[in-house]
Amino acid sequence: MHSRSSLTIILSLTLLAGVVSPSFSHYLRAEMASTNYRIDWDTISNGGLDTSSSASYQLRDTIGNPAIGDSSSSSYNLAAGYRGGVEDQVLTFTLLPQAASVEQVATVLSGNIVTVVSTTDFEVDDYAIVVQDIGTDQVTGFGKITAKTSTTLTFDDLADNGTAPVVDGSNDRVYLLEGADISFSTLSSSEVVTEIVGFEVTAASDNGYSVQIADDGNLRSGSSDVDDVSDGGVSVGSEEYGGRSSDTSLASSTFDTADSALTTSLQPVVTEASAAFDDRHFFTLKAAVSNSTAGGTYTQVLTVVATGNY
């Protein structure tokens, strides 16, 4: 039996984004329909209205289509012309792992404005998280920075898992979300260490989208590994590893209600049943070790897949 007080764990994330055929447009459609037919888009033109393609290109043509172009008001957007209604984008997926090395102590959170010691490492349009009481029972808000001063960061919104963070300066932090790798750094038997993986998804699908996650085996260093969590909670002093989702309404996994084990099979961590634009969720990875956990550098590859629901 080994008696070690710490070990290093490094996780590498692999991003796979599923893309399938479009079935939704962000435009308001003034369509014509009857019992047996529907015309989604109509045009007054001199011909064309065809699609041609080669190995490298695709052409949608319309001849003599009058009054084309985009117009907008405070409430509506008009894409005039037959081809104005065509939208090929079906799914965008941004994976945003926590950069644990870029952190600031948070002292006050008022609305979407957080006060920190310094904002030097953060820029407008960066994604970041605000964490209340980092550790086992931390509460997290995830958003995009829209403005900053020397001591404040303003977010467009702070998506959470049903509970908004409350910042009082006691063990509260702001972390940058960026990059492709995350690291728990050095772990000890006296704490639970967490890392956040954020997701931002735009899904042009009437039935929404899903995000799934899988690993390539246990956290491991040579012949040693860290046990998967099995009791619903990663606890201080126990050798356990797992995660929990900010999505609190999962039907086919337990990541919404408990710290759960990752497996080599894909499991859902986010499911949305309708079209989404810049939809944000996050997944909290948790790790703890005991005094008998063998020291070493532990690694694991996580695969995260986003797909549209059709």
**Average pLDDT in the 72-76 region?**
71
46 against 4, higher pLDDT: 46
pLDDT in tens, 228-271: 999 999 999 999 999 999 999 999 999 999 999 999 999 999 99
User: What does the alpha-carbon distance between residue 122 and residue 147 come to, in Å, rounded to a whole number?
Assistant: 10
Which residue has 């965008």 as its token pair?
92
pTM exceeding the 0.85 threshold for the entire prediction: no
pLDDT in tens, 24-57: 333 344 556 676 666 655 666 656 556 666 766 7
* SS3 per residue for the chain: CCCCCEEEEEEEEEEEECCCCCCCCCCCCCCEECCCCEECCCCCCCEEEEEEECCCCEEEEEECCCCCEEEECCCCEEEECHHHHCCCCCEEEEEEEEEEEEEEEEEEEECCEEEECCCCCCCCCCEEEEEECCCCCCEEEEEEEEEECCCEEEECCCECCCCCCCCCCCCCEEEEECCCEEEEEEEECCCCEEEEEEEEEEECCCCCEEEEEEECCCCEECCEECCECCCCCCCCCCCEEEEEECCCCCCCCCCCCCCECCCCCCEEEEEECCCEEEEEEEEEEEEECCCCCCCCEEEEEEEEEEEECC
User: Residue 45 in contact with residue 62, Cβ under 8 Å?
Assistant: yes
